[in-house]
Structure 1
Amino acid sequence: MGIDPAVGDYLIVLGLASLPAVGNFAGALLSETIDVSERMLSLALHLAAGIVLAVVGLELMPEALAGSPAWVSIVAFVAGGAFFVLLDRTLGFVQARLDLGEKASGPLAIFSGVSLDLFSDGVMIGTGTVLNPALGLLLATGQVPADLPEGFAAVASLRRAGLSRSRRLLLASAFAIPIFVGATLGYFALRDAPEIVTLSVLALTGGALATVVVEEMIPEAHEGETSRLGAIFFTAGFAVFTAISVYVGG
């Protein structure tokens, strides 16, 4: 007996979703192999922040606003910001339970923001593969260069916060979870859902990501020793994803 076509297609979706997850993990491993100074971490966070805002501004929100009525996606964007505020509060509880120390709250919030970005990647890969497997491949490969600095910045932040190496590697491995969940949701649930529901999920994710950049990534980037090149790295990050979107994503 052959494999059910639906199961085979789903396995393809998971395989494609693993590409950005591997990219993120590679960035995390890189941060473990070199001595990350405060200035280097600041630059990495600026670069990652620019990439995340580019994802929101160039990929998530234009897609979300293409549906009708557009106000639903706009409200979902605001709800996404509120969701991240709630998530940030929840992280305070997790921080206390794991006895991570007060210094870990910001890095954990950044980790959560990167996880949300990976979740949105998974949703787009899952829904894109349903429409056209070639589109799914394009979306997956296009995300890899953008996910490398995000994984680097997230784990380097956890390292500066004093988390043990085993915990850092465990959290870095956990980056695979949100993208696989997003891909599964995109493939099985959102493909048959009304368009406005799918677009609202993208807008909600966009609102959460925009909030994590403003509330966590940029403030964290300005703690300790910083560099005057931070603003340039921020705009370079935006430009990197713009180039990916234009020349790879088509």
Structure 2
Amino acid sequence: MQLAVGLLLPFLGTTLGAACVFFMKGQMKPLVQKMLLGFASGVMVAASVWSLLIPAMDMSEEMGKYAFIPAAAGFLLGILFLLGMDRAVPHLHMGAECAEGPKCSLKKTTMLVLAVTLHNIPEGMAVGVVFAGMLSQNTEITVAGAFALSVGIAIQNFPEGAIISMPLKSEGTGKGKAFLYGMLSGAVEPVAAVITILLAGFITPVLPYLLSFAAGAMLYVVVEELIPEASEGEHSNIGTIGFAAGFVLMMILDVALG
């Protein structure tokens, strides 16, 4: 039961955020969007450091001064994985005119959803690998620590759900469809989490690599997409304030509950 709740919390955050389409009128204000993007970035950076990279190095302490190797290798592989996904999957970022990835005839709304779905894969992996560490009774990952990451990602998924559903509504998509697209963009998270847990069950010795792999994938999303979108145009300091708030909140959750 604990495992099911932990894996579904991030998806619930996305769903609740997408539901804003039923309650908010008009288009999301740019300042609010910048704040939310910055907040999501802060949560993901803090989660990558405290919940993923530091535990990965702690698990490898028997390697002595080479304990950084699993964390460094996994981190770089995570970056390369998301780089490959960016090139292989056609997707369109909010506010962009040209799609990324291979050319295709997909609808604009479909490519917008694919862009957010790509962002959510590493988050699902991060939750999955942390709960895999908890299930393996690894002393570096506690039940509270695993839930801290899950809650943190659920909180930052709330604005992500709103960021995908609200603009779709303003572009003419019906409220029901906009909500569905926003919700579906988060459905990949529990799926990625379950797959990661199943893999970790067979390859427990490489758990440090999986933790840092998820960290690398998450930070790729932050640096490649979220921070640039939060910083473009006027009032970029709002995104910075949001980043600080998200970072501090996730740090507090991880240290206090972990």
Amino acid at match of 1:16: G
Please report the TM-score for the alignment, with normalisation by the length of structure 2: 0.76
Shift of 1:109: 3.4
Amino acid at match of 2:155: L
> Where does residue 96 of structure 1 map in the other structure?
104
1:65 is displaced (CA, Å) by: 2.0
CA-atom RMSD, angstroms? 3.1
Unaligned runs of 5+ in 2: 91-100
Confirm or deny: 8 A CA contact 2:21 2:178 kept in the other structure: no
Partner of 1:189: 199
Query: Structure 1-normalised TM-score?
Result: 0.78
For the residues of structure 1 that align with 2:21 and 2:235, how far apart are their CA atoms? 18
Residue 180 (structure 1) shift: 3.9
Q: What does residue 84 of structure 1 align with?
A: 82
User: CA 1:101–1:246 in 2, change beyond 3 Å: closer, same or farther?
Assistant: closer
> Is residue 160 of structure 1 aligned with residue 167 of structure 2?
yes
Q: Is the 8 A contact 1:46 1:217 kept in 2?
A: yes
> Aligned pair 1:13/2:3, yes or no?
yes
Percent identity over the alignment is 21
**CA offset digits 1:5-50 (Å, max 9, x no partner):** xxxxxx6522431223212322232365324211111110000000
Shift of 1:136: 3.6
1:203 and 2:176 equivalent? Answer: no
Alignment CA distance shift 1:65-1:138 (3 Å) = closer
Q: Which moved more, 1:138-147 or 1:37-46?
A: 138-147
Q: CA 1:95–1:41 in 2, change beyond 3 Å: closer, same or farther?
A: farther
1:217 to 1:158, Cα distance in 2 relative to 1, 3 A: farther
Does the 8 Å CA contact 1:122/1:180 hold for their aligned counterparts?
no
Q: Which runs of 5+ in 1 are unaligned?
A: 1-10
| Alpha-carbon separation, structure 2, partners of 1:101 and 1:179 | 22
Q: Which residue of 1 aligns with 2:31?
A: 39
Where does residue 59 of structure 1 map in the other structure?
51
Q: 2:13 aligns with which of 1, 18, 23?
A: 23
Alpha-carbon distance, 1:74 to partner: 0.8
> What is aligned with 1:144?
151
Instruction: Give the letter for the 2:219 counterpart.
Output: A
Q: Which amino acid aligns with 2:221?
A: V
Question: How many Å separate the matches in 1 of 2:188 and 2:68?
Answer: 30
Using the TM superposition, give the Cα deviation of residue 225 of structure 1 relative to its aligned residue in structure 2, in angstroms.
Answer: 5.4
The structure-2 alpha-carbon separation of the partners of 1:135 and 1:73, relative to structure 1 and needing over 3 Å to count, comes to closer
1:127 matched to 2:138? The reply is no
The amino acid that maps onto 1:123 is: V
Q: What SS does the aligned partner of 2:89 have?
A: helix
The answer as to whether partners of 1:47 and 1:234 remain within 8 angstroms in 2 is yes
Tell me the matched-pair count: 234
Aligned partners of 2:117 and 2:188 also within 8 Å: no
The CA deviation at 1:210 is 0.9
What amino acid sits opposite 1:25 in the alignment?
T
CA–CA distance in structure 2, aligned partners of residues 157 and 204 of structure 1: 26
Task: Judge conservation of contact 1:56–1:206 (CA < 8 Å) in 2.
Answer: yes
Q: Relative to 1, partners in 2 of residues 1:189 and 1:178: Cα closer, same or farther, differing over 3 Å?
A: same
Q: Which residue of 2 is the match for residue 50 of structure 1?
A: 42
Cα contact 1:38–1:225 (8 A) shared by 2: no
Whole-Å Cα distance in 1 between the matches of residues 131 and 103 of structure 2? 32
| Native 8 Å contact 2:21 2:179 kept in 1 | no
Q: Which residue, 233, 245, 254 being the options, matches 1:245? A: 254
* Displacement of 1:236: 1.1
Structure 1 pair 16–115 and aligned structure 2 pair: CA distance change class (3 A): same
Q: Secondary structure at the match of 1:190?
A: helix
Give 1:118's aligned residue.
Answer: 124
